[in-house]
Amino acid sequence: MLAFSFTVPFTRVAVAGLSPLFIGSGRAVVAALLAALALVLTRQRLPHGTQWLRLAVVAAGVVVGFPLLTSLALTTASASHGAVVIALLPAATAVMAVLRTGERPGRPFWIAAALGAIVAVAFAALQGGGFGGLSWHDLLLFGAVLAAAVGYAEGGLLARELGAWQTISWALVVASPLMLALTGFAVAQQLPSATQAQWAAFGYLAVVSMFLGFFAWYRGLEIGPMAQVSQVQLVQPVFTLVWAAMLLREPVGWLTALGALAVIACAALAVRTRTRRTSTSRTSARHSSTHRSSTHRTPVSLPERQS
């Protein structure tokens, strides 16, 4: 989350000099080159069967959908406003994890997750000046949240089969023909010209946000449960607004500190609730297994006394 928390502010920096289409597609092309190199050097085995289709789903969500939609939205929306909508991502990821994996968190988890999403959105909205009214960039950000949630859930499952960094690497390779074509179109439309700071922001988006950050993230989702791990994202809007204040000079006051504590507390509550429920279920299963074993044990007769 620390790596991803810079994505929105750095995208906001990059779109000041580069076209959103070039940022959204070009970062994926750079990341795909790194991914292909890593896969070749480590001699990874090719995915097989339906894994290719599932990699396409991951690519559509986190390689194509989220980067392009956020880049377009942040041409007019501020970084703080972007954090308002993206704060919904933990709840969206938890829902996708439930639908895709069959995980069934209990009611306390859902209450904590919903409370965390509400607090995160309220905090980001107050800090960013509120929604005001839904506009086209709000719809783009909502679409980005949905795309990322799908990509996270499917990627977390694939990471258990292919490995964490291998999953994002193969997804980047799968999406590379499309992203290369879009990059070429963007360059033809407008020749990239930016300051050093804007190119540095683009470099971070390509190397960290699009590639290295997923190493740790998909590893966490691989360990799972994904519905629980997804709630760690609740701290991302806090980090995002802090970096936006430092890099973009947005005002930060006592509300930021209070909101940060509230968001992190909700995330901790959700994780603790899910962990406790999982632990209790495993303990109950062990006791049930032990009981069944004892009730079906074959009686052993004592040896007869020799006369």
What's the DSSP call for residue 144?
A: H
- What's this model's pTM, rounded to 2 decimal places? 0.80
Distance in angstroms (rounded) separating the CA atoms of residues 121 and 136: 18
What are the residue boundaries of the structural domains of the chain, listed by start?
4-279
The torsion angles phi and psi of 48, rounded to 5 degrees, stand at: -135, 155
Residue-wise pLDDT tens for the chain (307 aa)?
889 989 999 999 999 899 999 999 999 999 999 999 999 999 999 999 999 999 999 999 999 999 999 999 998 888 877 777 787 888 888 888 878 877 777 788 788 778 877 877 776 666 555 555 557 777 898 899 999 999 998 998 999 999 999 999 999 999 999 999 999 999 999 888 889 999 999 999 999 999 999 998 888 888 877 777 777 777 787 788 788 888 888 766 666 667 667 777 776 776 666 545 544 554 554 554 454 444 444 444 444 444 3
Given a contact cutoff of 8 angstroms between Cβ atoms, the answer to whether 225 and 274 are in contact is: yes
Given a contact cutoff of 8 angstroms between Cβ atoms, the answer to whether 21 and 184 are in contact is: no
